[in-house]
Structure formats: structure tokens, C-alpha cells
């Protein structure tokens, strides 16, 4: 949920997708904070980058990557 919150703050989350998921699971999932990644949670980390980003989120990601490349090339 923290990763989703951070991505939402950066504008790279599809809120409709999150809303649908929360509606499907309402009342059926217990949230427990652990100090390590569980075997069942690990595949979620592998899904990063598999959901297409559209609109302003995509534009923001491009700007961030372009800025990184400019710094790397010594142009910024």
C-alpha cells in the first residue's frame, strides 16, 4: 500500500484499477504489517512495470528519466 501511495502521489497510478481492486476485496482481506516480504507477496514486486502508464503519469516518468540522462551526460 505504501508503494501504491507513493506512485499515486507521483501521478503514475491508475486510480480506477485501484478502486476496482479495493471494491472486489472489501471485507475479505486483513492488512497485517510484517517486517519481511512473505512468499505470497514476492510476485507483487515482480509486477512493477507491467501495467501501462497513461496520460500525465507517463509524461512525468519521461521527464524524470530525461532529467536523469541529462545529469548523467553532464548537461544539467
The Cα–Cα gap between 5 and 32 comes to 17
| 37 pLDDT higher than 80 | no
Comparison of pLDDT for 73 and 14, the residue scoring more: 73
| 71 pLDDT higher than 70 | yes
| 52 pLDDT higher than 70 | no
Please state the rounded mean pLDDT for residues 31-45.
Answer: 77
Amino acid at each position: 500500500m505504501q508503494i501504491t501511495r507513493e506512485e499515486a502521489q507521483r501521478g503514475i497510478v491508475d486510480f480506477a484499477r485501484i478502486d476496482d481492486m479495493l471494491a472486489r476485496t472489501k471485507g475479505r482481506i486483513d492488512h497485517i504489517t510484517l517486517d519481511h516480504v512473505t512468499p505470497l507477496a514476492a510476485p507483487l514486486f515482480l509486477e512493477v512495470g507491467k501495467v501501462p502508464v497513461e496520460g500525465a503519469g507517463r509524461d512525468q516518468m519521461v521527464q524524470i528519466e530525461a532529467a536523469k540522462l541529462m545529469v548523467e551526460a553532464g548537461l544539467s
